[in-house]
Each structure stands twice: as C-alpha cells, then as structure tokens.
Amino acid sequence: MSRHINIPIFIPHEGCPNDCAFCNQRKISGHVRAPSEGEVRKTIDEHLKTTQEGDRCEIAFFGGSFTGLPRHRQELYLGIARQYVKEGRAEGIRLSTRPDYINEEILAFLREYPVKVIELGIQSLDEEVLQKSNRNYSPEVALSACRLVKDYGFCLGVQTMLGLPGDTLEKSINTAKRLIELKPDMARIYPTLVIRDTALEQEYIGGKYIPLSLDEAVRWCSILVPMYENAGIKVIRVGLHAEELIRENEIVAGPVHPAFGALVYSKIWLDRITETIEKTSMHNKRKLIIHVAPSDVSLVTGQNRRNVDFLKENYRFSVVKVIGDQNSRNSFEMEFRD
C-alpha cells in the first residue's frame, strides 16, 4: 500500500511579523534557526532513504510563515525542493504561512514552483479571539486569503486553534462553519497549549487565561472533526505533536496528551454508538455486541476501556463486546442480546 509522506523542513519563526500570544515557534518546532542549503538537502535525503516503492512524498516547509521570508530565501528553499520533484523523487511542495502573507503577487510567484498545498494558519475567525491572540489581521483577511489560494489552483489547508483567549465552543463552531463553506481540501485542529516563554504563559500565571481541560478539548474536537469530515474535508491532524515539548517540560498548562487524536476519535465513536442506542428499542437486552473494522476496535473500546465502561454504566449492559469485522469497514453494526 502506498503512503503519503511529508518530508518536514522546519523554518522556526522566521517570516512572522510578530509574536502571537500562544506562540514560541522555536520550542514548538524544536529548531532555533532556519536551516542552511546543506541541512535542507540532508534532511530530504535522510527521509527519502526510509521510503518504499510507491510512496508519495511531498517536501513540506513548516513552522514560521514561509511567504514572509525574504524572497531570496524562499527561492533557495523552493529551488532545492524543485530539483527533487524534477528528479521524480518527490511529488511536490507543501508550505504553511499566515493568511495576511498571501496576495496575488505572492501566489503568482509560488506558482512558478511545484507548490501543491498551501496551509494557512487561520486559528480563528472571531474578531475578539484574533485580537486577544495578537494575530493582527481580521477574519475578512483570512477568508480572502483562503479564496485566493483556491482561485490560484493550490490545494488549501486550514489550521485552527481551540481555546484561545476569548474563545468559546460556539465561536469555534462558527469558525468551522465559515471555513467549511470555502471547501478547503484539508484541516488541522489544535487545542491551545500554554508554552513556556510566551505571552500566554504570563496571562496564565496572572490568572487572566484558563486553558481548556483535557475533557473539554476532546469534547470540542469531537464536535468539530465530524463537521469537517461530513463535509468531505479531510482532518489530517488533531492535536499538536507535543512529545518533545513534554520531554523538555516546555508545556506549562493545557490539554496535552500523547494520544490526543485517539481520545478524540474514541469520543466520536462513543457519540455515534450512544446516538444509535437512543434510537433503538432494546427491550431490556443486557448484552451489546459491536462489530467494527479491526483497525477501529481500540478506538471503539476506548482508552483503558473507557467507552465500554461508560456503556455498561449508563445503559446497564452486563456485557459489551467490540469485535473486529472485515465487513464493517467505515461503519458499525450493533447486536442486542439477552
């Protein structure tokens, strides 16, 4: 089976016009300076050594705001990546940037290279949230950037954050609805973490900011992820890659968990199952058998059997079994037995 592989090149903080309240890109990316030409080539080559025949590779420039870099540095990085694409060793280029660093001139420049995907750090489409997070652009600027990216023929990715200063579940849902209307190709959803040496840390220490709890963040994501997926928009990431931050003790507070995405999808499964139970006349059946794809068994069961225990406690089942069934791919079936 072929795999899609992003070869990540981190451009920490360079190109950003200001420090957003939540951001310390040097710590988030684990890099303190932009890579040299040699380092970029070495990173790409090392990743390519681990690929298999049939893998689809993209060279991805993450961190910072790529289109805010000096033009000569953009040309250097894009030129290196273009060589690998010409040689057939990579399929294209992916980059992330801020929506206020997108315009027609920038997109015309990027179209000279094999850039396929542009991910925009939207974060929120609520005016108050953007202001309190020091994003320094309006929702209209973000929406306009999304439309321009699509108009110029690029695949559009959107990144949003939950639980920023001033945020509410209603605001995050509204942001998702407005983005879904634009039909992006993919989305990432990041609950806000309080990172050391950020303005948000000072607000947290001063009692002016309260992050989402883990349960709150999982619940918010379990509502938002199906909104995107039901609209045909792929959610390619839920939660920040935080392993290094956890090891280095750089997370001060917030809903961090090494398997956050799994918690979210387990909650989504539990919601689907309970909704079906509520619509079903069980006639005092005491056993529940759930058939799902083998790859979904652990998610349906829940971490530490949390979902199974919930179903037993709330619906008084004496037995709840989750069975892997090849015929249940992308769906599930439930049996109620005496």
Q: What is the pLDDT of residues 189-247, one digit of tens each?
A: 999 999 888 899 999 999 999 999 999 999 999 999 999 999 999 999 999 876 656 65
Residue 32: is its pLDDT beyond 60? no
Output the six-digit token pair for 254: 């917030």
Q: Which domains does the chain have, with CATH numbers?
A: 4-257 (3.20.20.70), 280-337 (3.40.1260.20)
Residue 174: is its pLDDT beyond 90? yes
pLDDT digits (tens, 9 = 90+) for 273-314: 999 998 887 767 799 999 999 999 999 999 999 999 999 999
Angstrom distance (rounded) from CA 173 to CA 84: 40
The pLDDT assigned to 25 comes to: 52
On whether the pTM is more than 0.85, the answer is yes
Q: Which residue has the higher pLDDT, 184 or 280?
A: 184
Q: Which residue has the tokens 């579940």?
A: 169
Listed residue (8, 11, 1, 113) closest to 56, CA to CA? 1
pLDDT digits (tens, 9 = 90+) for 255-283: 999 899 999 999 999 999 999 998 887 76
Residue-averaged pLDDT of the chain: 90
Q: How confident is the model at residue 325 (pLDDT cuts 50, 70, 90)?
A: confident
**What's the angle, vertex CA 286, arms to CA 282 and CA 292, rounded to 5?**
80
